[in-house]
Chain A
Amino acid sequence: MIDTNLTINTDLAREILTGFVKTEVTRTGLSRAVIGLSGGIDSALSCILAVEALGKDNVLAVRMPYKASSKDSLDHAQLLIDQLEIPSKTIEITDMVEPLFKLDSEMSNMRKGNIMARERMIVLYDQSEVFKGLVIGTSNKTEILLGYSTLYGDSASAMNPIGDLYKTQVRQLSRSMNIPSPIIDKAPSADLWLGQTDEKELGFTYEEVDKLLYLLIDQRYSPQEVIEVGFDEKFVHAVMNRVRRYQYKRMQPPIAKVSNRTIGYDFLYLRDWGT
């Protein structure tokens, strides 16, 4: 039988990821972090890793509800804030985004959702300056591969400790780090409109797609090979198309090369240059 065991050693993951946050924050000369806490599992995990890396006084949790956001989201974020005893702020974005919504009465949920995600990015980066902390990313590998995010919105961060963990691995690590169970057990949702859930919108479950992505990406199976072992052909092609179509969300915008030395092509340094 084909191996789709995504189980990870959570002690080792925790050690590597907290070490990453600690090192990559402190080598910039800072010692603090800012995280947008949605009430969902991804931001909860990034938050708890940051707290373990930097200490509870050095992580600011920011809740950014919109008037239609579910009350559960706020409550679940508060559960974690209370458990971790970390500083927090609640900054409602309704008054910031409504004027833009009012300019177009036909505005779609998609557009509103993108605007809210980008407004939250603005608030977080502003709090980053106030708190002198870096914005920690909360996107997991599944959603990065599927392009299930708002470019320059929820995908924006200074660093991302959980971007190489599939959603099912995020759940596993979250359980091992005692994240409150209501956060782990509820249906994943961007909470951009009433009743939205990720799995409804995507059309498949994270458990299914994680197994498929693990074979296609990590284990380098071809689409034909995974179809032969039983994955639905339409599902496989739909997922592969998403992965290809959203490559642009995973990259810096390409720069047109005209000089002999161009940023991105032959001007190559790590961000950790000199540190």
Chain B
Amino acid sequence: MKLNLALAQINTKLGDVEANLAKHLDYIKQAKSEKSDLLVFPELSLTGYVLQDLVASAAHKPVDDDPIFKHLLNASKDIDLVVGFVDEDSRHRFFIASAYLSGGKTIHVHHKVYLPTYGLFDEGRFFAWGDRVRAFDTRFGRMGMLICEDFWHASPPYLLWLDGADIMLFSSASPGRGLNDKEKLESARWVERVTKAYASMFTSFVAHSNRVGYEDGLHFWGGATAFDPNGEEIAHGPYNEEAITYSQLDLNQLRRTRARLPLLRDERTNLTVSELQRILQK
């Protein structure tokens, strides 16, 4: 089976969800015309990133009667979508979230479990922490979604792997930093290194969609990527400009790679659990 993947790296209007929705619908149209099966938008793609006190007014629910999501759910009848948004739960906690939409339904919602609150980041001040890392079934097999800082920690991708995800969809609003004499920013080099490493270590597909544009002095660098289960790069978007990056995932590659390299078969989860229990009981 083949999956035609499209990674959207877009700029957003800060806190203007309707304007950002219009851009999503435009990108969906483009991806559909290229016969894409799945289009992945970056972190907080419907809202912008440094929301601060705009969080509450930018929040939405991924349901039919939501004025924003009804359009996206309708669009998902023809193409699967991953969108980034602020999710408000029934008790008015606000989460940085990604929703997987398919066939007019919300299939899965991931709440960001690691909120960076250090250096230039202040997410923990404005958002609630997610408390689940779950894989989910789609028409292309089992997938998992993570948001930016989630995959700076090794455990969420590991959990998704054990929970059956063969395709990991990462999204970011990664501020560019670490300009030195190298060809790429330090932030870009690091993200590309770990996404490639996860694909290699977990013999899985890993795709990453990152924002572009500026918010005050912050600059988002784009550079969407996709890696196959051998850790080989199969797509790489441009830096610093809006784009859709297309690639085709040959899902049969999972079988070929894992026949050669049975890391999943040999993973000793019970060993991990027993050692973790010992460490936690110290």
Chain A residues with a Cβ under 8 A of chain B: 5, 7-9, 12-13, 15-16, 19-20, 23-24, 164, 266-275
Query: Is B214 interfacial (CB 8 A cutoff)?
Result: yes
- Chain B residues near A13: list those with CB within 8 A: 179
A271 to B215, CA, bound (A): 8
A5 to B181, CA, bound (A): 9
A19 to B240, CA, bound (A): 8
Q: Which one of B16, B180, B185 lies within 8 Å of A274 (CB-CB)?
A: B16
Residues of B in contact (CB 8 Å), total 24
| Extra 15 A-B pairs, beta carbons < 8 Å, given A5-B181, A7-B181, A273-B15 | A9-B183, A12-B179, A12-B183, A15-B239, A16-B176, A16-B179, A19-B219, A20-B219, A23-B214, A24-B214, A266-B53, A270-B215, A271-B216, A274-B13, A274-B16
A7 to B219, CA, bound (A): 20
Chain B residues with a Cβ under 8 A of chain A: 13-16, 50, 52-54, 176, 179-185, 213-217, 219, 239-240
10 nearest interchain CB pairs?
A268-B52, A7-B181, A23-B214, A270-B216, A268-B53, A272-B14, A270-B50, A272-B215, A8-B179, A16-B219
- Chain B residues near A19: list those with CB within 8 A: 214, 219, 240
Closest Cβ neighbor of A160 among chain B residues: B217
Report the tally of A-B residue pairs with Cβ distances under 8 A: 61
- Chain B residues near A23: list those with CB within 8 A: 213-214
Q: Which one of A16, A24, A270 lies within 8 Å of B52 (CB-CB)?
A: A270
- Chain B residues near A270: list those with CB within 8 A: 14, 50, 52, 215-216
Q: Which one of A9, A20, A268 lies within 8 Å of B182 (CB-CB)?
A: A9
B219 & A269 in contact (Cβ 8 Å cutoff): no
B13 & A275 in contact (Cβ 8 Å cutoff): yes
A266 to B126, CA, bound (A): 11
- Chain A residues near B53: list those with CB within 8 A: 266-269
A20 to B213, CA, bound (A): 9
A272 & B181 in contact (Cβ 8 Å cutoff): no
- Chain B residues near A275: list those with CB within 8 A: 13-14, 16
Q: List 20 A-B contacts (CB under 8 A).
A: A5-B181, A8-B180, A9-B183, A15-B240, A16-B176, A16-B179, A19-B214, A19-B219, A20-B219, A267-B53, A269-B53, A269-B54, A270-B50, A270-B216, A271-B216, A273-B54, A274-B13, A274-B14, A275-B13, A275-B16
